[in-house]
Amino acid sequence: MSATRFDAIVVGAGIAGTASAYYLRRAGLSVALVETHRPGWGASGRNPGFLWLQTKAAGLSMDFSLACRRFAETLAEAMPDYGFRPSGGVILYRDAAFEPVARAFVADRRAAGLPVDLLDRGQLLDLLPAVGPEVSGAVWNPLDAHQDTRLLVRHLARGFEDDGGLLIAPARVAAILASGSGLAGVRLDDGRALASPCVVVAAGPWANALLQPLGLHLPFKPTRFEAAETAPAPFRLGPVAAGQSLFRFFTPPGFDAAELPRQPSELIRPDLGFTEQIASLPDGSLQFGCAYEIGSDLDQATVAGQAMACSITSRNFPGIAALPVLRQWAGVVAQTPDGLPVIDAACGPQGLIVNAGHFFGNLAGAFSGKIAADLATGREPGYPVNGFALDRFGS
Ligand SMILES: Cc1cc2nc3c(=O)[nH]c(=O)nc-3n(C[C@H](O)[C@H](O)[C@H](O)COP(=O)(O)OP(=O)(O)OC[C@H]3O[C@@H](n4cnc5c(N)ncnc54)[C@H](O)[C@@H]3O)c2cc1C
């Protein structure tokens, strides 16, 4: 493979970019993957690995998510172990005011095609013996799952390199170079030029810095999600779990998110949202959160976000309260107006492929990479991409 000329260049080594590079290389192309920091530096290396289906609304979001979930099963068979567990997931609630919300949520998701059920406390205890005495019930979805996305990115990057792909990191792409109606390649920060007729932009919430000079704009709000990790716990959580605050983010029809009760720690900074998520990692540690702030690109945990997570998670799972906290962090995610990514090979100069705007990239990132590679090589993509075109936003 020549040092500076490639069949394709992928910008960004998060889950979307490493998967794009991996599948492009597997299709036989010479590929460079360029990353400012290191693979998994962005949100892909900072999230607790949930693969939620029950947070998706009926229509394209649910249909695509189900396709991503099927893809995850085949990926888990093909890749070295990255902690994929078809664990199922629960959204639990403590307050009686959330019982009718959970009931309406079940009806809505069932109508959308998900096999969800409402569990009473006894049924929930069978699944999750660690829940605290305040928890009164939950919505259960057997299709939710868990993975270690950091490991998946590492395996994809290693597989890409072992297969002859070139990872260039740390190196930032400063500009995409146009040539007539097509592309000439990219220019790096240090002045180096890499030539290629095909550039995949998988730069997460930084994509617009590269797209805007080409006259393109991906509309999204940066959203900070916070998380924390404990030392290994003396108990394991089978299913992934979220809690009642999540219903303010994903509110079923007939309810007003603003009317749903809040816990005192959620009022420290009322502009923060919360999801009450927690999962056991393969090493026994627990990763939990996630306070979020729409419109914030601060990639550091905050006092209010961590206070909320620690106090409410300790009520859902009292056993966590005595565990040492090993780290706290945050990552920034691109939230498009419809929550769906842009996967588009026809929005700009010939050879430009956008694979960005991933809000639920744990679930969609790997599959989107396969789709991007299919688009680059002229194959029928594994999922119809019309719903992911940039022009659906009118931009
Ligand atoms: C705490 C937290 C909880 C989350 N919970 C969930 C969840 O429950 N379910 C779910 O599915 N998702 C969840 N997510 C979101 C998920 O992590 C993201 O959707 C996904 O990781 C986005 O992947 P990406 O590859 O598009 O972007 P990123 O992982 O952000 O990767 C983009 C990469 O591009 C690089 N880059 C940018 N510009 C350039 C440039 N000019 N040159 C070279 N490199 C560049 C960056 O350095 C970065 O490494 C969560 C995220 C966080 C932080």
Separation of 255 CA from ligand 1 center, angstroms? 31
**For ligand 1, what atom is nearest to the CA of residue 48?**
3
Going by C-beta distance under 8 Å and a sequence separation of 6 or more, which residues neighbour residue 119? 90, 127, 137, 138, 139, 140
What is the DSSP pairing of strand 193-195 with strand 240-242?
Answer: unpaired
* Cβ-contact 279, 240 below 8 angstroms: yes
* Cβ-contact 275, 52 below 8 angstroms: no
- pLDDT above 60: residue 125: yes
Tens digit of each residue's pLDDT (9 = 90 or more) over 12-63: 999 999 999 999 999 999 999 999 999 999 999 999 999 999 999 999 999 9
**For ligand 1, what atom is nearest to the CA of residue 203?**
34
**For ligand 1, what atom is nearest to the CA of residue 289?**
1
* Cβ-contact 225, 331 below 8 angstroms: yes
Residue nearest to atom 4 of ligand 1 (CA): 47
Say how many C-beta atoms besides its own lie within 10 A of residue 205's C-beta.
24
Separation of 286 CA from ligand 1 center, angstroms? 21
- Residue spans per domain, the chain: 8-44+150-219+339-393, 89-142+221-335
Q: Which residues of 44-55 are buried (b: 16+ CB within 10 A; e: fewer)?
A: bbbbbbbbbbbb
- pLDDT above 80: residue 283: yes
Residue nearest to atom 51 of ligand 1 (CA): 47
Question: Is 150 touching ligand 1 by the criterion CB < 6 Å?
Answer: no
- In this structure, CATH architecture of domain 8-44+150-219+339-393: 3-Layer(bba) Sandwich (3.50)
Q: What is the CATH T-level fold of the domain 89-142+221-335, as seen in this structure?
A: D-Amino Acid Oxidase; Chain A, domain 2 (3.30.9)
Phi/psi of residue 202, each to 5°?
A: -125, 50
Q: What percent of the chain has pLDDT over 90?
A: 98
Separation of 95 CA from ligand 1 center, angstroms? 33
pTM: 0.97
Separation of 202 CA from ligand 1 center, angstroms? 9
Tens digit of each residue's pLDDT (9 = 90 or more) over 227-277: 999 999 999 999 999 999 999 999 999 999 999 999 999 999 999 999 999
Tens digit of each residue's pLDDT (9 = 90 or more) over 173-192: 999 999 999 999 999 999 99
Pocket test residue of 190, 224, 225 for ligand 1, highest count of atoms within 8 A of CB: 225
Question: Is 39 touching ligand 1 by the criterion CB < 6 Å?
Answer: no
Question: Is 227 touching ligand 1 by the criterion CB < 6 Å?
Answer: yes
